[in-house]
Structure 1
């Protein structure tokens, strides 16, 4: 991916500007045609993945699915957002494990925040495993702060459960977004 896809500084903008993609990279809305590729990436990325049916049900429920494709039209990353009254809930954001550490997650999170802003929603909530250090770092860099913990929220190996950290980011409606 070209560096032109990412902000020039390492600082996150207060409200991310919708990125202009270069070199043939494409942002899109997730559709039923994406579900097989999404499920395959999900299975590679997690020990307890969402199923294809989970994604299908999300789309049918009106949740917002976002996709990021490379110049060869291969799905690289996706996100699922759920508008709830006056906030946006980030239900899932995943980068294909073979394509991680290249800025794709940062880009897609910026697009998710800009999508919330475009829907006049100025708070985003999400849950993340405490063991997912790279995701926690990404969210903290994007201005998310921990506001709670859900005990035993996630299934873990050996029939165990793992807590979820509840993170929140809020911004003022007057902050610019493209």
Structure 2
């Protein structure tokens, strides 16, 4: 998918860790901290950073598990939301999955994250189940997770 912003998708590296943790806090989520990103770099996760004009503006973290791919996190900086960047990153992820002969991408999303659920549904994901009280909120309460899946497919790769 072509995008009017100058975009690059780069592997997660140490230079991006603090900026990505800051984006997560800016968005009010605050679930991923610097240590989480550092751990992702040291693992077999596929960690991608979305960069525009040299500035990290989002990321995705996924993993090939068996014959499927699992998207653990996809976040766009608040100032860049609503510009189609989530779709851009989903295209990048499903392109990778297709190239790896992975037939299906899975994810869980917080039931209260209706904006993300809408984006995933419009992209072609389907809700296939739920996980009761799956996510712990910062205030100590819990919320359900919605399990979604989408067939990987050839797209115009970013």
- TM-score, normalised to structure 2's length? 0.90
Gaps of 5+ in 1: 6-21
Could you give the per-residue CA deviations for residues 80-99 of structure 1, whole angstroms, max 9, x where no partner exists? Answer: 01110100000000000121
Partner in structure 1 of residue 151 of structure 2: 170
Change in Cα spacing, 1:23 to 1:137, as seen in structure 2 (3 Å) is closer
Aligned partners of 1:48 and 1:156 also within 8 Å: no
Runs of 4+, deviation exceeding 6 Å:
none
Gaps of 5+ in 2: none
2:87 alignment partner, SS class: helix
Partner Cα separation in structure 1 for residue 5 and residue 33 of structure 2: 32
Equivalent residue in structure 1 for 2:118, among 124, 132, 137: 137
**1:29 matches 2:11:** yes
Equivalent residue in structure 2 for 1:147, among 123, 128, 131: 128
Shift of 1:119: 1.6
Partner in structure 1 of residue 32 of structure 2: 50
Aligned partners of 2:58 and 2:77 also within 8 Å: yes
Aligned partners of 1:152 and 1:164 also within 8 Å: yes
Shift of 1:157: 5.0
- Larger relative strand fraction: 2
Could you give the per-residue CA deviations for residues 147-167 of structure 1, whole angstroms, max 9, x where no partner exists? Answer: 111111111253210000000
> Which protein has the larger Cα radius of gyration, Structure 1 or Structure 2?
1
Aligned residue pairs total: 156
Aligned partners of 1:155 and 1:161 also within 8 Å: yes
Aligned partners of 2:94 and 2:154 also within 8 Å: no
Partner Cα separation in structure 2 for residue 176 and residue 148 of structure 1: 25
Query: Over the residues paired in the alignment, what is the CA RMSD in angstroms?
Result: 1.8
